Chain A
Amino acid sequence: MKDSELITSFLERTLFNIQKPGRYVGGEFNQVKKNWKDGFTKIALAFPDIYDIGLSNLGLTILYDTINKRTDALAERVYAPWTDMEDALRKNRVPLFSLESRRPLKEFDLIGFSIPYETLNTNVLNMLDLAAIPLQSKDRSAGDPIIIAGGHACMNPEPMHAFIDLFVIGEGEEIINEIIDVIRTDSNSDRDQKISALADLPGIYAPSHFQISYNKDHTLSEVANVKNKTGSQIKKRFVKILPPPVTDFLVPNISIIHERAAIEVMRGCSRGCRFCQAGMITRPVRERPVAEVLEAVRSAVQKTGYEEVSLLSLSTSDHSRINEILVGINKMSSEMQFNFSLPSLRIESFDDQLIETMQGKKKGNFTLAPEAASERIRQSINKPISDEDLFSTVEKIFLMGWKNLKLYFMIGFPGEEMEDVQKIIDLCLQVNKIGKDILHGRAEIHVSINTLIPKPHTPFQWSPMDSKENIDSKYRLINDTLRKIKIKVDWPGYQNSLFEAWFSRGDRRLAKVIETAWKKGARFDAWQDKFNYALWLEAFSENGIDPYLYSHRQRRTDEILPWDHINIGVSKKFLIDEFAKSTIYENTSDCRFLCHGCGIQTEYGIDCAEIRMRDQ
């Protein structure tokens, strides 16, 4: 029997006892299944979380579309199997396989993992193991596929360096065709030669080509490119002109988390909030033209039959022609009978026209993210909204008929005091009062509190994370007060944030911790009921590593950071200046209107204003 027949026979005999078997069979409308031809370059696109979450991942959707448009390559998909399926695969010794052709992952030329957040790291290891591919890059041999990873978590690739042959730094759609071309040109070369050839592409980071040395005090002493071909810095890649959005989304046959057509209206954000990694690493801002967005919405609804469209970006209301987009979509949505949602609206950008277009929509939750409540902290994190703007927006939201309002805040900012936290409470009480007054008591306020994780490539990257004692007392103050008046408070817990801090801010020494934890059974660390904090502490201690050196050490601005050789186009000088400004509560204005010299223009020789808008 061929492998794919064996896998089909396994599925026939197994799926009856598996939860949501539809996760493992593919067959979605718009799925592309090409003939498994010898000459094709075969790529498995892997998402290290379950199907329900991975299917709608926009990055992989774009890559799937781009690769399958080629006549000499194919892309198939694979997601992390849930624990029941993992057990069945292991028990029956069936290797992890792709959904489309049901081929073992080992038969692909290349496996591309998307790693958007650090809590998926152990799932990457687990998927490699289930595919019978050696976990560590150095142990792989000629017959193994090349393992590539990309996504926001890879902007600090070091903790995963041992398991990934090559990282894509930046936007995968900009480089995927070059990767395939290189693999095809060198069809006679061996695996190592191919990896070397790929490493020569700008934006590709081959960890094996870099050597890291350490000082006695735990800091890095040197980062050296031992092959010395591409230099000591890997500069991110990005698409200068966004191509028209993908519209033939895969439509699942079973229920998943996001069942909707997601149209990206804009990439990047010009606000420069100092805690926001996405805002720093996705520069420059690129808006899609109005006509292109509207055409994409129409096409997506027609091609998928979805009843919901979501407009995506970091800050949708900052699109310079958002009103035209909304008017257009509003018209289409009544003609074609679909709903649309707008996550990521800025509080101060609610003009009357925007509200007008949202009139009469289905009223679900409305979400606002003030992040901080005191004037001081707002200046310090560079999100300088005013209370008046906030209250007037809230008023409009309730007057329009929304009953559920969700407010996002963070605690643990550098320099934060209890009085700043008290302001969060005061603000929630005020919003609650506005809601109750307007809706005669029927307003529901939901508050979400997160702990700041000072992320790499942000002005706060040198700062320690706030201590458990501080965070606990801050959270308790908020929770105790708000619960009394029946405002719900969401809180992921300190341990989850701590975990994220360790692995987002880590260096190469964490690779063995990840491997140890995986061996001990760590999986699905993003899942509250699967995350095992004690297991991770054991993994650290067995490897003789103090995790707090990663999360709680104040770093010096002149030390080499583990991610310094990853160049996101924003200069270190800018980040240092921004940090300095945060300590004196000084605001940096929206860079659409005034360039503050973050470095992206000079680094790439571009003009942000030109790149941002193509509509004139």
Chain B
Amino acid sequence: MRLRITFQKNDEIIFASALDLQKIWERSLRRAKIKVKYSEGFHPQPKIQLAVPSPVGFHGSNELIDIWFNNEIVKNDVLEKLNENLPAGLDLVSIEEIPENQKALNGLAESAEYIVTLLDGNFDFLALQESLNSLLDKKVIERERNKKRYDLRPLIIGLNLFKAETSNLQIQMHLLARSGASGRPDEVIKELGIDPALCKFERTLIHFNE
């Protein structure tokens, strides 16, 4: 049996790397005494799979994890036990059963939506809107990351600016999230001339190819 859990990632947990998050889930499941399926081979590992890692420091409101079980298991039971055993900052949203042999989440990811909140208020709405537009008008946005040059433009699907209730400005970003062709919101922020340290990043949705 394979279950897909949608969860939120906030607070201190945002600083866990993808590998750390894997361990956090394994240990939470063990504390909850939920018996998961183990991989075969010399060093059996619990069979759980997180979708599309997000960078350290990112919040997430619709993150996904797949968990395999040997036996049929009651979904609500899993939710209840896990709720008590997840560390602060991980919160369950929903749970659904999916076919055992469906393709892995990572292979199916197509794009992701983000909300980037500008923490400090001294940005002019119209000027920033203008920067966004001119960014979108460009044919090529050449950037360098980890000593590799790449074109950011084709990775951007859409950018929208709006004002949050807190009066902070927010940029909604829709970026490609294919393996090998994935856009990073902090790269967009840097291209806009803004210090990413002064932003709050949140991944709000991952889109999959069905």
Partner-contacting stretch, out of A25-33, A158-166, A433-441, A553-561: A25-33
In the assembled complex, the Cα of A419 lies from the Cα of B23 at a distance in Å of 50
Are A13 and B119 within 8 A (Cβ)?
yes
A301 at the interface (CB under 8 A from B): yes
Q: Which residues of A contact B85 (CB under 8 A)?
A: 29, 305
Residues A13 and B197 in contact in the complex (CB < 8 Å), given A27-B89, A305-B31, A305-B85 = yes
Structural contact, A25 and B12, CB atoms closer than 8 A: yes
Proximity string of chain A (13-51) to chain B, C-beta cutoff 8 Å, 1 when within and 0 when not: 111110011100111110100000000000000000000
Task: Report the minimal beta-carbon distance from B155 to chain A, rounded to whole angstroms.
Answer: 21
CB of A454, distance to nearest CB on chain B (Å): 42
Contact B16 A301, beta carbon cutoff 8 Å: no
Bound-state CA distance A451–B198 (Å) is 50
Docked-complex contact B56 and A21, CB < 8 angstroms: yes
Q: Which residues of A contact B200 (CB under 8 A)?
A: 12
**Shortest Cβ distance from A260 into chain B, in angstroms?**
11
CB-based contact A27/B26 at 8 Å: no
Q: When the two chains form their complex, are residues B27 and A14 in contact, meaning their CB atoms are under 8 A apart?
A: no
- At the interface, yes or no: A538 with Cβ under 8 Å from chain B? no
Nearest-neighbor residue (CB-CB) of B27 within chain A: A305
**Residue pair A253, B31 in contact (C-beta under 8 Å):** no
Contact A16–B197 (Cβ < 8 Å): yes
> Which residues of the other chain, B, contact A362 by a CB distance below 8 angstroms?
43
| Docked CA distance A254–B15 (Å) | 7
Q: When chains A and B are docked, how far (Å) is the Cα of A31 from the Cα of B12? A: 12
Beyond A304-B31, A305-B26, A305-B31, whether A12 also contacts B119 by CB under 8 A is yes
Residues of chain A contacted by B141 (CB below 8 angstroms): none
Report whether over half of chain B's contact residues are helix, strand or loop; otherwise say mixed.
helix
Contact B15 A253 (CB under 8 A): yes
Kindly name the residue among B12, B24, B27, B198 whose own CB sees the greatest number of chain A CB atoms within 10 A: B12
In this assembly, does B171 line the interface, its C-beta being within 8 Å of a C-beta of chain A?
Answer: no
Total CB contacts across the A-B interface at under 8 A? 80
| A210 interfacial by beta-carbon distance below 8 Å | no
Cα A16 to Cα B198 in complex, Å, equals 8
B33 → A minimal CB distance (Å): 8
Which range holds the interface residue count of chain A? 20 to 34
A251 interface residue (CB < 8 Å to B): yes
Q: A12-B200, A14-B197, A253-B20 are in contact. Are A25 and B15 (CB under 8 A)?
A: yes
Instruction: Return the chain B residue nearest A29 by Cβ.
Output: B87
B30, CB-defined interface residue at 8 Å: yes
Q: What are the interface flags for B135-146 relative to A under an 8 Å C-beta threshold, 1 for contact and 0 otherwise?
A: 000000000000
Is A306 close to B, CB under 8 A?
A: yes
Cβ–Cβ < 8 Å partners of A16 in chain B? 57, 186, 196-197, 199
In the complex, whether B128 has a CB less than 8 A from a CB of chain A is: no
B204 within 8 A of A: no
- Contact in complex: A15, B15 (CB < 8 Å): yes
Interchain CB contact under 8 A, B119 and A307 = no
Distance to closest chain A CB from B188 (angstroms): 15
In the complex, which residues 101-151 of chain B have their Cβ closer than 8 Å to any Cβ of chain A? 119
Q: In whole angstroms, what is the CA distance A337 to B31 when docked?
A: 12
**Does A349 count as interface, using CB distance less than 8 angstroms?**
no
The answer on a CB contact under 8 Å between B27 and A304 is yes
Residue B11 CB within 8 A of the other chain: yes
Instruction: Give A278-305 interface residues, CB cut-off 8 Å to B.
Output: 301-305
- 6 residue pairs, one from A and one from B, having the closest CB atoms: A27-B12, A305-B27, A22-B15, A305-B30, A16-B197, A305-B31
Additional A-B contacts beyond A16-B186, A21-B57, A31-B88 (19; CB < 8 A): A13-B119, A14-B197, A15-B197, A16-B197, A22-B20, A25-B15, A27-B87, A29-B85, A253-B13, A253-B15, A253-B20, A253-B24, A255-B19, A302-B31, A303-B31, A305-B26, A305-B29, A307-B26, A337-B30
- Give 14 pairs: A residue, B residue, CB < 8 Å, sorted on A: A12-B119, A12-B200, A13-B119, A13-B198, A14-B197, A15-B197, A16-B197, A22-B15, A22-B56, A26-B12, A28-B87, A305-B26, A305-B31, A307-B27
